[in-house]
Amino acid sequence: MMPEKLKTELQSRVAHAVTSREAAVDVMKELQRHYGWFTDEAVGEAAELLGLTELQVEELATFYEMIYRRPVGKRVIHVCDSISCWAVGGETMLAHVGRRLGVEPGETTGDGIFTLLPCCCLGNCGEGPTMMVGDTLYGRLTADSIDEILARERGGIT
Ligand code: FES
């Protein structure tokens, strides 16, 4: 169950939005932050906050690839697999991250720290290959920079 403080804050955000749907991504992301992923309970709570049906929330949640309807690790790694990144080695970088973590795309490491997911364009096309770890964007990836990023990200997890 979401804490009362979070509920009040989200009610306020919905009240200030032009339409409740405008606040939907914010609401889903905050509930996801609270639960670790966008649980069934969160779907129900979002529906109530937004004045939508659970099915409508489900449709929105499954549209956005950064809303997770299954458990994920503490940090989700999105590696861009759209055309600009693909053209400069994105596929090779995705494979490198997978090898380093010992997971396939879609899987979570055994220690529950990282989940690896390919994704559509992250809006950093000129700096590809690109990946996002949690909320941090990394561009111009190389095998060496990925190793450094993973070590730093792992070290920063509490
Ligand atoms: S194609 Fe990768 S960030 Fe746009």
Query: Residue 95: which CATH number?
Result: 3.40.30.10
Ligand 1 closest atom vs CA 139: 3
Q: For residue 158, what pLDDT is reported?
A: 65
116 and 48 in one domain? no
Whether residues 148 and 85 share a domain: the answer is yes
Please report, as a single letter, which amino acid is at residue 35: Y
Q: 70 in a domain, yes or no?
A: no
pTM of the predicted structure, to 2 decimals: 0.90
- Give the structural domain span for 132: 75-155
pLDDT at 108: 98
**What is the total count of domains within the chain?**
2
- State the angle between helix axes of 90-101 and 143-155 in degrees (0 to 180), rounded to the nearest 10: 40
Residue 125 included in any domain: yes
Q: How far apart are CA 53 and CA 59, in angstroms?
A: 10
**Structural domain includes residue 146:** yes
- My answer on whether 58 and 80 are in the same domain is no
68 within a domain of the structure (yes/no): no
How remote is the CA of residue 146 from the centroid of ligand 1, in Å?
Answer: 17
* Residue of 67, 61, 97 lying closest to 81 (CA atoms): 97
Is residue 47 one of the residues assigned to a domain? Answer: yes
Could you tell me if 87 and 132 lie in one domain? yes
Residue 145 lies in a domain: yes
- The token pair that represents 28 in the structure block: 């889903």
Claim to verify: residue 106 and residue 46 sit in the same structural domain: no
Distance 29 CA to ligand 1 centre (A): 22
| Pocket-forming residues, ligand 1, beta carbon under 6 Å | 80, 82-85, 121-125, 128, 130
Does residue 101 share a domain with residue 52?
Answer: no
- What is the pLDDT averaged over residues 80-89? 97
Give the 3-state secondary structure of the chain: CCCHHHHHHHHHHHHHCCCHHHHHHHHHHHHHHHHCCCCHHHHHHHHHHHCCCHHHHHHHHHHCCCCCCCCCCCEEEEEECCHHHHHCCHHHHHHHHHHHHCCCCCCECCCCCEEEEEECCCCCHHHCCCEEECCEEECCCCHHHHHHHHHHHHHCCC
pLDDT band at 156 (very low <50, low <70, confident <90, very high): confident
